Every structure is written in structure tokens, then in C-alpha cells.
Chains A and B, each alone.
Chain A
């Protein structure tokens, strides 16, 4: 099994004193504690947590909880959805009804709800959704591909905004006020991620 990261000794948070106040405040909030859910029910949060594990291929609760909270925030907020395809329900309805449909689908397919099927089965449910191949009655009112895309996009956006994930992929993170001095090929500023000498 390969390491999650090529940058074992790097932690972007060590640099937080060099970030501007506004950015630091925003990023540190992602580490929790989180306020109560405003939109999602307990069952829904569990389902999204389970779905997120598959979408971002990561099981760490401390990161995924932030992901779920971020989605809850988005769904509770009055700010618009940027775009919605003609004929697709509003995202609050799409997600709420969609999760119900996922449960029904699992029930029909495996006899139990989505949270009770095993990981492999969950993955195949999600794969079917992403391809629009989960053929059941309930999908006639819930467009499955759109549901999948909505959830996946929100989940991925939050996940790749988490400082732990930034550290793992070797991303420099916030860079104001100091900016980057060495931008050319092969050069890095002293505080950027360095690969481990033994790393493949």
C-alpha cells in the first residue's frame, strides 16, 4: 500500500502565522468544532458521510465531518446554486429526495438500507448512480446523475479545502502576505512541501 502522501514531514498549518488574519480564520474553522446541523437530519448526515468516503476515497472522520458540515451549510444558505438544469429540482429537494431514493434503491437491490450494505455494495450503488444506470421507479422524479454530481461536487470542493489534505498533496496553501519568491522549475521556497528522500 502506498503512503497517502509524498510529503510525510510537511504540515501546511505550521505556516499559519504567515497567513493574513482573514484567511487564517477561515481555514482554521475547518478543523472544528462544528456548529449544529441546520438542514440535514441525522440519518442524512450519516448517509453523506458514507457517500463522501467513496467519492474522495478517504475514511477519516475528522476531515469528512467538515465535508458534511460544509454541505449542510450550503443547503441551509439562501445563496443560489449558480446553475440548475431545466427540469431538475432545487438542490434542497434534490438532495433530500435523492437520499431517500438511494435508500429505497439499496432496499430493493439488497434488502437493507444504504448504510447497512457493505462498502463494496455501496460503491456499486454510487457507480450506478453516476452513470444513470440505477433503473428504478423512484428515479423518475429524481435525476440520479444530477444528484450524484451535486453531492460529489460539493463533497470534493470541501475535501480539497481541508488543510490536512493540502499538506498531503504538497500544496503551499495560503500565500499572503509573503507570496512566492522561487517559482521556476525545480525551485521551492524554504517553507514549501519537500518530498521525503526515500519517497518513490
Chain B
């Protein structure tokens, strides 16, 4: 519940969404230690860790400071407002659908309307070059992230099984697994069992019991519309309020339009626009956490005489190697009602086909998530992605309650042709609109065929009749990838840009490869590790004015 939190009184922005109308009298108007652009998954974690360590942190977020109780509704159509709806130009053989299915806007970013499925990456995900001879290795390994995965799972009380059968972490999770699971997830597990495929209850950033003043999930099923009871984690309700409590300032409804560099080649801060007025925020360190499209767009658009190809772009890799996940939805029709509208959308999973198996003819693999859908989501995807309309659409929707669904989250390999570039068309801020180019590669296509077939086998095993497949995508990653070699990557393993020492880039944009599962826990673990690094560096050279060094542990 968004009750009164006294600490936010010191802020331009209020937890209840009321703004103190004095952007000219900002808390850190003179200069902040750290300016974070974007209050999403990564930005929220960074703000929390860095403000707790005593830095003067300001977070600048383009969208609103939502109040779940008054801004969210149990309604699909109206809650499209949670997405980044600005027009983006798309191209390529498989142009991406943008907006509600992959981008958030507002404090909390994508976590406000994400599904809450919460996985760690596997060890193999960091070493594609070494293990499979494709793509690149990350400059970090699973071991580097392990303590941060663990910390985050505890911080937000992830619910999950006692034993998770795949990957390096096999449980137990801090909070018990969700119980009971939905009919759709039950069918999935039964189908898997018949075929000898292991399955598990999904690890979720959704409470199975009360935690931190928040109640457990009531199964209303609207996670993608923002969680009204606050049972689902988001940085909006967890890390950001805590960061504010540690002194961070959050400026919402403020669109950052430029990263400013001085003559010595260091970033001095950012300009942003609020209510048509431009402001400048000075900071010692700037961190861009604006996800995979706005990050490269901002860096490219901030080109200056010293960096004519855009900031942090000496490698030419800013905007390159954009990845998504194959998010194909596989449906089968059952004799009895399933009712996929009920319960948390994903409650059962299998990662049996996650790792490379050479006999399949492609590298890497995918996760299968039993997945619910509400009517608008299904009908809209049928018409826009599967070309089904008219009487056929009506027939399917009349029997909406009889379908079960599995969604695959399949690894897509990086390809420099999949990219974010600037167009000639400008938006209302005068910034060029991005062009997002995407085409699947050969490995991706083979992987999709395999995943769709497996999902259909699972559905058939419990009496479902395979009905239709909606070729969807989900999650974005890449465009500012990390690496040790400054000529082939944008940031180092701690998300510090190779070219500008006080510019960090930290969000899903730094992913080197996409992994075969939902990415947000990895985004957050990387952010927590980056925060630790910034804290350690500051301790070493003492150059950043910290208010309460003593509270650092």
C-alpha cells in the first residue's frame, strides 16, 4: 500500500505521485555524485545500492511515478499506458513489435508490467564462443554474478521450488513455491511427466507469503497490467522507495535528451526536458540505464566534435547486436475448460531443452513456460501476428476457455545487422526516431521449429489438439555489449564505458548473448555488481564526495 513514507518529503517526487513543483530547487541541483538515467530494473537496483552506500544519487526517469492503487486497473486495454508507446521505426525480415510486450516507461520501467518469471542464467550462457564456437564469451562468468543473484533473490523474496532441476543453482529459493498452480500449468506439468520431461514450478518475483509489508499473490492474473496488490516485485515498489529513503532523488516525467561531455572528454551530466522546459543535471558519474533502444539512441544522438560517431562508440558497436527472445506462443484445444485467464500467467516451466545438444542441428536452446493470456492479448496477437480474423477469430475466441498455452523463450544469437540506428524523422523533443532492424538467423529458425514441436508434444500428451502458433517475441537485449576488447565492445565487465571513464551503461543493453530464459534477474545482478564496483573504486581513490562513508560496509 502506498501509505505515507516520510522520507520522500525531501524529494521532488512523492511516492503518491505528487510532484513538488520546483525542479529549479532540486536536492542535488548543484551536482550529484551519480546520475542514473532510467528507473527500470537496472536503474532501480543501482539507485538503491549507491544511495545506501552514501552517494548523492539522482534518478531521471522519462515516464510517470505510478501509484499502483490509483493508476493501475484490471484491464488490458487501458494498461497499455505502462509501455513505452513512442513511435519507433522497424525494419528487417522480422520487424519487432514494440511497446507493451517489451518496453516499460515510468518509474519501475519494464518491471512494472513484467510477468515476474525470475531465472538465473546458466554457466554456459556466458561462454558461447568457448563452448559452441559461436557469438562471443562474456567478460564475466556465472561465478561473478552468483553472489548478486543470491542477494537479489533474498532482497525481494523470490518464491520457487525447493529443487530446481537445471543450471548451476538448484534451489531452494528464499520463499516457498507458489501453490496451488493454475490449470494451465497443471496440464503442462502432466504433459511433461507423460513424456519423461522434467518440469518445475516457476521461480517468481511474486510473493507466496507476506513480505516487507506486502501481501501474497491473489491470482488475479493481471501481472502484465501492473500488480494492484503489490504482490509482484517491481523496482517501483521495492528498490526505488528504499533508495529514496537513503536520500536518492527521483525526477519522473523527465526525458533525458543529451549526455553532455566537456573538453577533456568526460561526461559532465545530462540535459532533460520536463513540461517543455530544459534542465541540466550535473553529476560526477553518469549511468545510462535506459534499456536497449533508448540507450543507444541517446548515445548516438549525443555525438559531439570529440566523439562524432556518438558517445562510447569508438568500437562502432553502439546500437549493434540487438537481440530478442523467440517468444512463440503455442496453443492447443482441450475437451474441458482450462481458463487461461486465471492465476499468475506463468507457474510451471521446463528447461529440459536449454543446453546445446549437437544432435538437434542447432546450438543453445530454450525454456518452455506454461503461459496464461487474457482475451485482448490473445485476440490481438491472433490478428496482428498470425493473420487470423473474421469468422476464424470468432470461432477461436468463442472457445477461449478451452485453450492451453505454452510460450517458448528461445535464445537468439547476436548479429551485428540487428541494430538500432537513427532515422531522419524527429520526435517531439527533436531527437531522431530510432530504426530497429531485426531478422532471425538460421540457428534461431531451427531452434524455433524444435521448440514449437516440443510444446505441441507436451500439450498433446494430456489430450490437447494442437491448434495454432503465434510467432511472437519477448525481451530485448544488447546494443551496448560488454567485453574486454574495446574495439569490439562498448563497456567493460563492470559496465564502465571503454571510451569515457565516468560514463557507465547498465541495463539489458550490455548483454553479449541472450540466454535461453527470461533475463531480468541477470539485468539486476549485473546492476548490483556494477554498484559494488563503483563503491569499491570510490573507496580506492576517494575522489567521489560521499556523505556518509562510515555507513558503507
Binding site for B on A (CB under 8 A): 4-6, 19-20, 22-23, 26-27, 54-58, 70, 79-86, 90, 123, 130, 149, 152-153, 156-161, 165-166, 168-181, 183-188, 192-193, 195
Q: Measured between C-beta atoms, what is the minimum distance from A60 to chain B in Å?
A: 12
> Does B390 have its Cβ within 8 Å of any Cβ on chain A?
yes
Q: Judging by beta carbons under 8 Å apart, are A183 and B182 in contact?
A: yes
B316 at the interface (CB under 8 A from A): no
Q: State in angstroms the CA–CA spacing of A98 and B341 once bound together.
A: 36
The answer, yes or no, to whether B398 is at the interface (CB within 8 Å) is yes
Assess whether B85 is in contact with A79, with CB atoms less than 8 Å apart. yes
**Quick check: is B152 within 8 A (CB to CB) of the other chain?**
no
**Does B222 make an interface contact (CB < 8 A)?**
yes
- Known interface pairs A57-B394, A86-B435, A171-B375. Does A183 touch B89 (Cβ–Cβ under 8 Å)? no
Q: How many A-B residue pairs have CB under 8 A?
A: 185
Contact status A166-B375, CB under 8 Å: yes
Q: Is the CB of B70 within 8 A of A185?
A: no
Report A49 CB to chain B, min CB distance, Å: 16
Question: Hey, which chain A residues are within 8 Å of B181, CB to CB?
Answer: 183-184
For this complex, 11 residue pairs linking A to B, each with C-beta atoms less than 8 Å apart, are A4-B398, A26-B73, A26-B75, A79-B85, A82-B99, A83-B90, A123-B390, A152-B389, A170-B400, A180-B343, A183-B182
What residues of A have a CB within 8 angstroms of the CB of B423 in the complex?
Answer: 86
**Nearest 7 A/B pairs, CB to CB:** A179-B218, A82-B99, A174-B74, A57-B394, A175-B220, A80-B87, A83-B98
| Bound: A4/B387 CA distance, A | 22
Question: Which residues of A lie under 8 Å from residue B389 when comparing CB positions?
Answer: 54-56, 130, 152, 156
Partner of A156 from B98, B220, B393 at Cβ < 8 Å: B393
| Contact A83–B96 (Cβ < 8 Å) | yes
A22 to B83, CA, bound (A): 19
B179-195, CB < 8 A from A: 180-183, 186-187
Q: Which residues of B contact A20 (CB under 8 A)?
A: 73-74, 228
Within 8 A of A (CB), among B204-246: 217-222, 228-229
Q: Indicate if the CB atoms of A82 and B83 lie closer than 8 Å.
A: yes
- Which of B389, B393, B423 has its CB near the most chain A CB atoms (within 10 A)? B389
Residues of B within 8 A of A161 (CB): 75-77, 376
Is there contact, CB below 8 Å, between B218 and A178? yes
**Contact status of A180 and B218, CB under 8 A, knowing A23-B75, A26-B78, A57-B394:** yes
CB < 8 Å: which of A5, A157, A180, A193 contacts B398?
Answer: A5
A184 contacts which chain B residues (CB < 8 A)? 180-183, 186
Most chain B CB neighbours (cut-off 10 Å) among A123, A176, A193: A176
A176: which of B99, B222, B379 is its contact (CB, 8 Å)? B222
What's the Cα separation between A65 and B142 when bound, in Å?
Answer: 55
Chain A residues whose CB sits within 8 angstroms of the CB of B98 once the complex forms: 82-83
Residue ID in chain B nearest A70 by CB atoms:
B77
Q: Is B391 an interface residue (CB 8 A)?
A: yes
Q: Whole-angstrom distance between the alpha carbons of A175 and B218 in the complex? A: 9
Are B391 and A152 in contact (CB-based, < 8 A)? no
- The verdict on B72 contacting chain A, using a C-beta distance below 8 Å, is yes
- Please tell me which one of the listed residues B72, B341, B384 contacts residue A22 in the complex, with CB atoms under 8 A apart: B72
**Is there an interface contact between B387 and A83, defined as CB atoms closer than 8 Å?**
no
Q: Residue of A at shortest CB range from B400?
A: A169
Q: Does B484 contact A (CB under 8 A)?
A: no
Closest to A4 in B: B398
| Distance of A28 from chain B, by nearest CB (Å) | 11
Q: Check B422 for interface membership: any CB of A closer than 8 A.
A: no
Known: A84-B87, A166-B375, A170-B401. A179 touches B394 (CB 8 A): no
Min CB gap A184→B, angstroms: 5
Which B residues are CB-close (under 8 A) to A54? 389-390
With contact pairs A22-B72, A176-B220, A184-B186 given, residues A55 and B383 touching in the complex (Cβ less than 8 Å):
yes
With a CB–CB cut-off of 8 A, which chain B residues contact A82? Answer: 83, 85, 87-88, 97-100
Which of A4, A56, A58, A149 counts the most B-chain CB atoms under 10 A from its CB? A56
Q: Which of B70, B217, B339, B393 has a CB less than 8 Å from the CB of A188?
A: B339
A169-B342 contact given A83-B96, A178-B218, CB 8 Å threshold:
no
List B contacts of A4 (CB < 8 A).
398
Contact of B73 among A23, A57, A183 (CB under 8 A): A23
Report chain B residues within 8 Å CB of A58: 394
Contacts of B219 in A (CB 8 A): 175, 179-181, 183
Q: A172-B341, A180-B221, A185-B183 are in contact. Are A157 and B85 (CB under 8 A)?
A: no
In the bound complex, residues from chain A placing their C-beta under 8 Å from that of B74 are 19-20, 23, 173-176
- Residues of chain B within 8 A of A192, CB atoms compared: 339
Among B86, B228, B229, B399, contact of A80 (Cβ-Cβ < 8 Å): B86
